[in-house]
Amino acid sequence: MGNILDGNKVRDQILAECRPRVERMRERTGRPPGLAVILVGADPASQVYVRNKTRTAEGLGIYGETITPDASITTEGLLRLVRALNLRPEIDGILVQLPLPAHIDSKEILNAIAPEKDVDGFHPVNAGLLAIGAPGLRPCTPSGVIETLRRNGIPISGQHAVVVGRSNIVGKPMAMLLLEQNATVTICHSRTKDLPAVCRSADILVAAIGRPAAIAAEHIRRGAVVVDVGINSVTDRAMAERLGEAKLAAYDRRGNVLVGDVHPTDMAELASAYTPVPGGVGPLTIAMLMQNTIQAAENRQAAENRPGGL
């Protein structure tokens, strides 16, 4: 059995490091870092995610503000909200909870966030800074993966990392962050030939494809480090039966079970170290969001203190 990479432990370390930074910001400026979250509509899952983010921010002493426009808001109406937040000096970070209603142009909304307040790290400016290795706000989930590996003493430099998935939110930035750490990186996707063979070449295998247990024993070289970024709700008992006794028992208690993109028992048996689902990468996303919010505030303070200010 592989070593479990406990995301809750790493999360707690990061949040503990955030608290004194918040206090220093308050002492220097008279105010804490500020985070504004826009939640459009009443999607239950999004409400839970936002509540967890704001609760964590409040626990650190970060000023949190949740704006909840009705699901009928237009793209232009939401753009006005974002632009107003861009101008507010007490707001250092802006997050638009996804997904947005289908009638809203999500890309236009995300691109309207001021890059220096883009704590999700999705803005093209921040994506470009990542691509050239320049300082900037990094996407939270991939950054959390790097922190998990680093804090568990898992070497990245010189290792072959295979990333399964090429989304702008996880796959692409994950590959760039691994490159930044001097890994040799292969990105796989739906048209990759002989995907299992490519995955088996990995020292570090990162799965981020959004399909439950799609990565199985044939994809994992014994002794590899496996990072499972996926989180999927399985509601079919036949599927749950294929996930092992523990997942099946959880399914029978609740009528559903969470599983990642990697088969849980295959991963546990073959990997030298792995992130479980839940409790692996998930807890790191909010921790890195808090870190980004504080970093954005510190960046703004530094810019204001330079000759000529902002």
> pLDDT tens digits, residue range 82-92?
999 999 999 99
Q: Among residues 210, 156, 209, 154, which one has the least CA distance to residue 187?
A: 209
| pLDDT confidence of residue 309 | 57
Name the residue among 146, 122, 124, 100 with its Cα closest to residue 7: 146
As a whole number of angstroms, the distance between CA 174 and CA 191 comes to 19
DSSP state of 279: T
Would you give the DSSP letter of residue 219? G
Beta strands in 18-86, from DSSP E residues, in sequence order: 34-38, 63-67
Residue given tokens 């000096």 in the structure block: 89
Confidence of residue 308 (pLDDT cuts 50, 70, 90): low
Cβ atoms within 10 A of the Cβ of 1, count?
9
Q: List the Cα angle 280/298/13 in 5-degree steps.
A: 25
CATH H-level, domain 29-114: superfamily: Leucine Dehydrogenase, chain A, domain 1 (3.40.50.10860)
- Is residue 223 within 8 Å of residue 200, measured between CB atoms? no
Specify the pTM: 0.94
Q: CA distances (Å), 151 to each of 147, 207, 295, 298, in order?
A: 6, 20, 20, 24
Nearest to 6 by CA among 205, 280, 238, 272: 280
What's the confidence (pLDDT) of residue 45? 83
SS in 3 state form for 162-182?
A: EEECCCCCCHHHHHHHHHHCC
Given a cut of 70, is residue 310 above it in pLDDT?
A: no
Domain residue extents for the chain: 29-114, 140-282
Average pLDDT rounded to a whole number, residues 18-26? 97
Among residues 53, 117, 172, 247, the one annotated as catalytic is 53
Neighbouring CB atoms inside 10 A of 46's CB total 16
Q: Does residue 97 carry a catalytic annotation?
A: yes
CATH of domain 140-282: 3.40.50.720
**Band (290; pLDDT cuts 50, 70, 90):** very high
Number of neighbours of residue 142 by Cβ within 10 angstroms: 30
Q: At which residue do the structure tokens 């504080």 appear?
A: 294
Please confirm, yes or no, whether 266 is among the known catalytic residues: no
Classify the C-alpha dihedral 302-304-305-307 as positive or negative: positive
What number of residues does the chain have?
310
3-state DSSP call for residue 146? Answer: helix
Q: How confident is the model at residue 303 (pLDDT cuts 50, 70, 90)?
A: confident
Tell me the pLDDT band of 267, cut-offs 50, 70 and 90: very high
Do the two domains 29-114 and 140-282 of this chain adopt the same fold?
yes
Whole-number Å distance between alpha carbons of 85 and 82: 5
pLDDT of residue 43: 84
Average pLDDT over residues 110-125: 97
Q: Which of 92, 117, 118, 120 is catalytic?
A: 120
Set 92, 97, 159, 228: catalytic member: 97
Measured at the CA of 221, the angle between CA 240 and CA 201, to 5 degrees, comes to 125
The helices-and-strands tally (H runs, E runs) of the chain is: 12, 11
CA angle 210, 213, 218 (to 5 degrees): 120
